[in-house]
Structure 1
């Protein structure tokens, strides 16, 4: 658990199966500007316990509620990235906004990614099957191959399998390797089940009921959560929402566009 700084609390919910260390560029910067930054490793990830069950949004939201209640955090700004966005939206649906005053969604996977009869623009369910198979057969390679599209979208160079071969990305090869390592610092079970949750959970109704002012930030070249399917639709559903597109940016904005993202977060929280 990271709890740095003082002032209005900002609770950071990490992307995917990464632990709270993914917020390195945000937590330090925000805490140095008069905010209290709290970040924790969700279950199955990082330094948290790695249970077999509990990777649905209800349980993840309950874990978030426990953190807010145990630390008696109020007037909270929730900042959720990717699956962390779905986690934050589910928390508001289950617990309301008594403790939360603002919401920031970064590269959100809301409101619904999977293709269904009433969501024809969604992603083919076969993608999840292929992902689960890749995780089961060679999870380290799967994590390494994520780094390219995670930071560069469709323009990412192919990963060759050579150690540190992430040339041509908008981040250093060392940073790409760090991200890959954070992804592996989770249980295999959590990796598959969290992917299943973010891919298959329909949050359209609860996203439309978000009761607090919200900032949605999304890269226009995001492959993991396509901007029109996720960021644009999320912003259109939330009643009080500001939507910011990052041209030429992919999914990992917290690292590839850290300076701009930090300033956008502070500007929104200060408004």
Structure 2
């Protein structure tokens, strides 16, 4: 574990465990690198080097006032990759982290990245626009901001208790530990970063980034993702990628890396070890 200072003075916390080919994890909103525990331990035991950082304003990184946008997020990831001299790396991004990883690979990854994985990821763009008629109305994200400001602690209980892990579905196997861990991670970050990040993950257009990516890319998504609907994300992203493969998991929720870790990990390993 350590920190790296970015060009604008943010301190980015990271974990760096093991030896071998690097697997780099990019977490979702409003969480931290801890959200990747199940994947990091799995790949560590398989002989890989695992790296994950806390996005600026999240987790143990500094709660700076500014820079909560995808360009800064990608640059921060690049600072970690350069500091650790990561090459031949596989980058795996979930949700907002999928957007961060997409921009990082497109803008900073030349000569450093072997493969990319997007899981429940926000690209190409979440919000509804004239060019993206299937997106979510801006009012959805305005409501996110309103709830965050009104009572962030309660909001950060409601999300994991309900749609994030599909715990609001009939016969769902609810884990209070998972809910509390989500809340713990969220509340460790800063309200300003979380507020600004809503615009970053919902309104950033990754179309050109996806088109620019040339490495093999696996796009994984749950069919019952209530946070990032699959029809307007994964199914569109794979069409823009030069070497994209789409895998949709029937009934899986947004937080499938936690609730279905065994299945997700096995498929990640197969992709990482596969040819091309």
TM range (shorter): over 0.9
Q: Tell me the equivalent position of 1:149.
A: 163
Give me the whole-angstrom Cα distance separating, in 1, the residues matched to 2:131 and 2:233: 15
Unaligned runs of 5+ in 2: 1-13
Q: Alignment partner for residue 175 of structure 1, among 173, 178, 185?
A: 178
Q: Distance in 1 between matches of 2:108 and 2:187?
A: 31
Task: Name the residue aligned to 1:255.
Answer: 258
Does residue 22 of the first structure (1) align with residue 25 of the second (2)? no
> Which of 94, 104, 107 is residue 107 of structure 2 equivalent to?
94
Q: Tell me by how many angstroms 1:101 deviates.
A: 0.8
Distance 1:33 1:7 in 2: 10
- Match status 1:265 vs 2:268: yes
Q: Return the TM-score normalized by structure 2.
A: 0.91
- Determine the C-alpha separation between the residues in 2 that align with 1:246 and 1:80: 17
Deviation digits for residues 69-113 of structure 1 (CA, Å, limit 9, x no counterpart): 111110010001111111111112222421001001111000011
Query: Is the 1:109–1:230 contact (alpha carbons within 8 Å) kept by the matching residues of 2?
Result: yes
Find the aligned partners of 1:201 and 1:229 in 2 and give their Cα distance: 14
Q: Which has the higher contact order (CA 8 A, sep 6+)?
A: 1
Partner in structure 1 of residue 17 of structure 2: 4
Are the aligned partners of 1:110 and 1:231 in contact in 2 as well (CA < 8 Å)?
yes
**TM-score (norm: length of structure 1):** 0.93
- Provide the rounded CA distance (Å) in 1 between the counterparts of 2:110 and 2:263: 27
| SS class of match (2:50) | strand
For residue 237 of structure 1, the aligned residue among 237, 240, 245 is 240
Q: 2:140 aligns with which of 127, 141, 163?
A: 127
Q: Distance in 1 between matches of 2:60 and 2:245?
A: 34
How has the CA–CA distance of structure 1 residues 95 and 263 changed in structure 2, closer, same or farther, with 3 Å as cutoff? same
Q: Which residue of 1 aligns with 2:3?
A: none
Distance in 1 of aligned mates of 2:173 and 2:15: 27
1:42 maps to which residue?
Answer: 55
Moved over 3 A (4+): 168-171
Cα 1:2–1:139 change in 2 (3 A) is same
Match of 1:193 in 2: 196
Partner residue in 1 for 2:77:
64
